[in-house]
Structure 1
Amino acid sequence: MSEMKRTPRILDGIAIAGQIKAEVAVEVQALVARGITPGLAVILVGEVPASQIYVRSKVKTCGELRIFSEMLTPPETITTEEMLELIATLNAREDIDGILIQLPLPKHVNTKRLLEAVSPDKDVDGFHPMNVGRLQSGQPALAPCTPAGIMEILRRSDLPVAGQNAVIVGRSDIVGKPAAMMLLNASATVTVCHSKTVDLGSVTRKADLLVAAMGRPGFVTAEMIKPGATLIDVGINRITDAEEVDEFFPGDEDRAATFAKRGSVVVGDIHPAAFALAGAYTPVPGGVGALTIAMLMQNTVTAAKLRRGISLGNK
């Protein structure tokens, strides 16, 4: 039996997101019964097709869960000062519990200044320095949605975290750094790698739990993986070159058909060939990405409760 090839476990992000959204719907129902409707404001600046798709998905999910949502669409020419005025108005509104600024913003706008202008108790993206500090010190906080989704995948899949060697490749403020803090708070031994890490493979090969979040298609190869490790692939990279499709997905008829139809396929930051070595892994698509909107909905409900002094344990 010991010589039998082990089949890696696929961590179904879509199913886990469905569980979370069902739980959020129950929480919303309980709040509505108390005369409280959680509210989310989404600011979408300009005409960025990818951002428009993301925002429509967020607004649609709000509707499904009975969360009030309002989409504000200022023109691309809006100034930082005008955006600050808009945020101040939303901060003051009692019917808005969460404020989300869809990124990226136009280059002439001061993104960090705007993110810091959002009231910390309405910061459903978890980017405000006060929430970053709360997360670091282990206090209840609105945490960034993607890293929070990673932790939910691990928890709901009964995968061990405490005592595990966790390696994160990528140090962004949105994923890498907060994921490191959450894993550390969960008693993992955490190493954060980045573009300046020397002999990256020697570090990743020691990982019981590997989080890839650097935005480079197929960057983490099979040679960089510890057999049996849990692989969390945060990357969503669109491939439009036929040779790259053949490189990443040789003999995969489904991917080839998708490429022929759409002119592109999606690949993560981990090379698909590496998944065969894993004990468990998140697929792309259908893994971590599916959790992000679900966690945004959870954060909106959490913000609605925290702002009103309602216990988070009270579903």
Structure 2
Amino acid sequence: MSSFVPGLQLSRDFYTEVVRPLVAGVPHSAALIGAGSEVLAFDTERSAGRGWGPRVVLFTAAGLAQEVGEAVGRGLPEVFGGYPTVSGGGSGVVVADPGEWFAGRLGFDPGRGVGVLDWLSAPWQRLAEVTSGEVFHDGLGVLEPARAALRWYPADLWRYVLAVQWRRLAQEESFPGRCGEVGDDLGSAVLTAGLAREVMRLALLMRRRYPPYSKWLGSGFARLSGAAELGDALSRAVAAREWRERERHLGRAYERVAALYNRVGLAGPLEAPVRGLSGRPFQVIGAGRFADALAAAVTDPVVAALPPAGSVDQFAGSADVLTCPERCRAVTRAVLGL
């Protein structure tokens, strides 16, 4: 039997048994949020290495972080739960000012409000990291309001991001068949895998879940209730050996997300079955219809005026961009004209 303890439980116990007594009498908030597979509950025994162990982000009032951090550092045991409390040159307790910590992760402080640029320049992975995990104690009264503010997009921005995601399907949905028709089976397979990825992200977005980055996308998708048939269709499409079979399974997947679109009800209902592409022997869902309907339902003039590029995840795929808030904000301003 495995003795592995999930990182969230380990860190909760670490705070309760070790950290909290060390800061008794000091106003603070404490949580396990931010980077780390344990924050999204994707950690396994394989995670228990490379600095993995008991961790707490401890928030204090402005100007106290250094003093509290030094006091906590002196009181930490070397080991907790069988794991070192200091690893890779850093402590298992990070002490920070709340506004500075959020700005460092996202590029802005949600305690001061969240604007259009803030929403669209924040990568989905980062938004998932700060709204997942667990708050162990919120004595400062700042973490829960900040997390609530970031829980999900405002309605019109949700429509906008979904419209762009549907448009990504519209741009390539006929291409696996076209590649297959000219004998480019590798190209057809690669395009099918890419479309499957976009469908997974679309399904997560429609279910109000921030899609995690590539390593955890499949795991996050698999947690969606009621997604078994959609997952089966996508798996069969990716595993198919011939373009017509890929097209058939992709069609099943498209019909599932089209039905989900109608249930979500952010725009007027549309017919869900796949149909032939005009003048060509390929079956498509006509994803542009869904993008257009969602865009037309946006009432906020600022959001309605945005170019159809979406959030930073939808037009930038470089990890060197998506892990740097300053770069995310710079490219988002440039692409969207904000």
Tell me the TM-score range normalised by the shorter chain: under 0.3
Could you say which structure has the higher strand fraction? 1
Under a length normalisation based on structure 1, what TM-score does the superposition of the two structures give? 0.25
Could you say which structure has the higher helix fraction? 2
